[in-house]
Amino acid sequence: MYKTKLKTSHLGATGLEITRVGFGAWAIGGGGWEFGWGPQQDEESIAAIHRAVDLGINWIDTAAAYGFGRSERVVGRALAGLSEPERPYVFTKAPREVAAESGVVFSMVTDDAALQAITSGPDGMLAGLAPGKVHIDMGTVSPQASTELAQRVRALGASVLDAPVSGSITAAEAGGPAGPASTGRPAVGGNAT
């Protein structure tokens, strides 16, 4: 890791020295999803990462959920051209690791695509669940996606509680985003099985 002129701090007991300011890569995940920051040009994002590194930052925050993997891919492209001593640390969040280390795992995403992104694949939440663990699904996903996820969780020997958050007081009072009869899911609560 290269030396920076910026002030650094110890990162817990890791032995890492990180700059007090890093590069947050949420926005470079782009638009087209509930919490997206709108359209982003990948080449401009790469240039911004290079500029941040030139100014001395030595870490980047990203996650698979930022644009459903787009942020991580753009960060990877930006760092591919940097030599090892120039390359900053990359901190990401892998749902698999969280699930493997936790007895109870909460998820709260806004649509079926986001649920698929955090649960599937080798780094998805399902890869870290094991018998005896509990998954609490608080997302506002479709009943079909919630039911399919619950079946997959149970097949791993874990338990699931369906407890969607409606997103608004009005929706909760109506029983969910479209009312209880149309969603088939309770606005609050559920059954742990």
Sequential pLDDT tens for the chain (193 residues): 567 889 999 988 888 899 999 999 999 999 887 778 889 999 999 999 999 999 999 999 988 778 878 898 899 999 997 888 888 998 887 788 778 878 888 887 878 888 888 898 788 899 999 999 999 888 888 889 989 999 999 999 999 988 877 654 454 455 544 444 344 444 444 445 5
- How open is the CA angle 177-179-183, to the nearest 5 degrees? 80
Domains of the chain: 8-91 (no CATH), 95-183 (3.40.50.720)
Look at residue 177 in the predicted model and tell me its pLDDT.
Answer: 45
Between CA 185 and CA 181 the distance in angstroms is: 8
The one catalytic residue among 23, 59, 66, 68: 66
2 carries an active-site annotation: no
Length of the chain: 193
Find out whether 1 and 78 touch, Cβ atoms under 8 Å: no
Look at residue 191 in the predicted model and tell me its pLDDT.
Answer: 46
**Residue 168: Cβ within 10 Å count:** 10
Look at residue 130 in the predicted model and tell me its pLDDT.
Answer: 93
Reading the block at residue 138, the tokens are: 């608080």
**Residue 113: Cβ within 10 Å count:** 14
Look at residue 122 in the predicted model and tell me its pLDDT.
Answer: 80
Look at residue 175 in the predicted model and tell me its pLDDT.
Answer: 52
Look at residue 36 in the predicted model and tell me its pLDDT.
Answer: 81
Look at residue 174 in the predicted model and tell me its pLDDT.
Answer: 54
pTM for this structure?
0.58
